[in-house]
Structure 1
């Protein structure tokens, strides 16, 4: 396994001009832009649904439950989708998901315009959005890696991460402004349009995503083989463990931003959108730096340091009583998020042979899908201790867990 890693890592030492030459590849641009459009839908929907749910229920737990529904498909379907991506046409899988999401957004917009939308409708929409996120992470990123090739892999994932983080800015800002000006129906209408545009881009791909030969093993056997490989590679294992830690203890704060913004900082929906966009702003610029300058010998260190910075930023955010301080610390946390998010997928591509890469990416999706557990935990703790104290406790637990990983899997340092 180590020889495979060595042969894949060495070619990554390329100049910034060759890294950015990816932007001249038509298929890369289409996959990249489709990811940006879908990412905007995902983040604006998360903000709008959070604000709507809190207005209707006045319950942090209900807000957390909506995020739980959004991320539940990752843990239930991530491994299966990753294995299916090695068996079926990936372009068609992604295209079908985007078309379905666009239709669902249109139906929800009509329900909201007519005044008949209820929380269960919103929850169903969150569930559909989460199902597509499972496919986006495994299927679309596999397509990105195939188009980029090994030598430009770090740049491809850096640019994709930068775009995703740009949507973390644009999505909440658009969601907050549209929600305040029009209402929930406006956010679903925007989602319908953006998902439709993303589907058009994927439909125009020219890359050959057909499967060269039929697989003789069963789907279950493929999944088991993927887990066996993970156990044999300590770097991959540590990446997956840290991913679980971050999604359990760090990222659940995202669903609580509307609550903190309204109850602690006294913000309007549009300013809550600005607050929710702050970490995305920092992550956007951080990911661009990673895309242009990061060399492969620093990939593991960037991943570990980035994870730690995010947890520290979340801790300080939970203790902040001021809007300015809250935005500042989330900007810094965004820089750490860039290191974590970019290297998370890059390390999987570098370490894992192509034959099992889809399955390992599927397991990575499942690890990301543990966030609903953290969301429910922070929701219950918020009802018990208060939202700010709940986030503080979760982030401290995450820092302790990261320290244990550093001692247990020294290869990631």
Structure 2
């Protein structure tokens, strides 16, 4: 009741009818004064207010009978958006003005830390069980395969169903798979084929999780806050690459691989607790008007016909297939080339994360909208070049410096790539387009298996060099001979 009285006094409203939240926020910029209205007039006034919020220039003109009730205040500005606690954010932190986004963000940060801990522990476990770099690539293949086969359907579900509920269900599945594997490893009954199976199942759940999560971001922030939201998500992911591997490197010696896997499960439970509290607007579900196959065709057709989106997906494919294989090979590089143990491997992962955080902070702070295409391509060229240099280096400090440079350039590339896609795509297609973006990661097996085979036959440095060189040449060719991408 106190809140209603305050709203009435601040808006100058005298009415016997309860105020909906939209009316208060819509009429705030106006000096409103009218006599007590009937129920029908009240509903018409609320409808008018909603049209004003959506930017209808003829909202008042279309309703002459109501125009007298709404008098614009000169130089009126909309009421500022604030967080639940009233804090104000600007620039690269603007998306944190949304309390719903805060909940998604803090849940994502913890799960990403857990994911990187799991990746370090899992990679070390595979290497200890099999003593085979090829098996590392095979595990990556099984994890990435669902992103190619299932992610498109995950995108369709994200456009047909409630994204929040889909996110909760997929995160609970990931937590369950990780907990089961932790128990098996702790009991000493895990075998290599169990690791491949769990990799595949986690990839399936992840393929449902990511399209819903990425599509949900735009529902929780305004259009002006969207670049900040994408940059913060990138910063979250990349800062977790610092914290996660460092924690895993130390914790493996204390609680073992099984303990790290169980912490991964706990992280996803924490995220579920946060997502349950989100009160997001309902996403558009016009995809329900057609069949699932028609939804798929519509999404892929849009990705092909919208040239800016197609260009971003092509660049993501290039760097993922040829460049990102070095992450799968880092355990072998640490042990076989640099003579490091689990702690050293964690340091290499941390170095990559430090560079990635720096790149994400740069994107969030710059808030640049000009020359993004040029910066995008230069980042891809630099990423490939740093990997080539890495393959010739055996000094641990130099390796960490090059990994940091590669991580930074890749972070800039990914953040700008996602920002351009999110700003371009309409909401009713957002899940399918973000799933197409995930498919680029599903193409990882196209590079993972050959990279593992090359590492097995010729050594890990040669495998890293081949991937980096192809990435460098491909990005340089686009930069030189496709100038339209520089102006995106």
Indicate the residue corresponding to 1:144 in structure 2: 217
CA distance in 2, matches of 1:294, 1:320: 35
User: Paired residue for 1:304, among 370, 377, 384?
Assistant: 377
1:122 aligns with 2:122: no
User: Paired residue for 2:146, among 69, 73, 85?
Assistant: 73
1:38 aligns with 2:98: no
CA distance in 2, matches of 1:214, 1:194: 32
Contact 1:300/1:347 (8 A) holds in 2: no
1:231 aligns with 2:304: yes
Indicate the residue corresponding to 1:292 in structure 2: 365
Superposition deviation, residue 92 in structure 1: 0.6
Q: How does 1:146-295 map to 2 (within 5 A)?
A: 146-209=219-282, 211=284, 215-295=288-368
Superposition deviation, residue 27 in structure 1: 0.7
User: Paired residue for 2:98, among 17, 20, 25?
Assistant: 25
User: TM-score, normalised to structure 1's length?
Assistant: 0.92
CA distance in 1, matches of 2:288, 2:130: 49
Indicate the residue corresponding to 2:56 in structure 1: none
Work out which of the two has the higher radius of gyration on C-alpha atoms and give 1 or 2: 2
Superposition deviation, residue 151 in structure 1: 0.7
Gaps of 5+ in 1: 1-15
Q: Tell me, what secondary structure is at the counterpart of 1:150?
A: coil
Contact 1:91/1:202 (8 A) holds in 2: yes
Contact 1:46/1:67 (8 A) holds in 2: no
Contact 2:156/2:432 (8 A) holds in 1: yes
Indicate the residue corresponding to 1:51 in structure 2: 124
Gaps of 5+ in 2: 1-88
CA distance in 2, matches of 1:344, 1:191: 28
Superposition deviation, residue 248 in structure 1: 1.0
Contact 1:230/1:236 (8 A) holds in 2: yes
Going from structure 1 to structure 2, the CA distance change for 1:316 and 1:133 (only over 3 Å counts) comes to farther
Going from structure 1 to structure 2, the CA distance change for 1:366 and 1:53 (only over 3 Å counts) comes to same
**What's the Cα RMSD here?**
1.8
Going from structure 1 to structure 2, the CA distance change for 1:350 and 1:22 (only over 3 Å counts) comes to closer
Going from structure 1 to structure 2, the CA distance change for 1:148 and 1:113 (only over 3 Å counts) comes to same
Indicate the residue corresponding to 2:50 in structure 1: none
User: TM-score, normalised to structure 2's length?
Assistant: 0.78
CA distance in 2, matches of 1:305, 1:294: 18
Higher RCO, Cα 8 Å, sep 6+: 1
Contact 1:235/1:411 (8 A) holds in 2: no
What count of residue pairs does the alignment treat as equivalent? 399
Indicate the residue corresponding to 1:354 in structure 2: 427
Q: How does 1:296-375 map to 2 (within 5 A)?
A: 296-375=369-448
1:388 aligns with 2:457: no
Superposition deviation, residue 335 in structure 1: 1.7
CA distance in 2, matches of 1:407, 1:68: 33
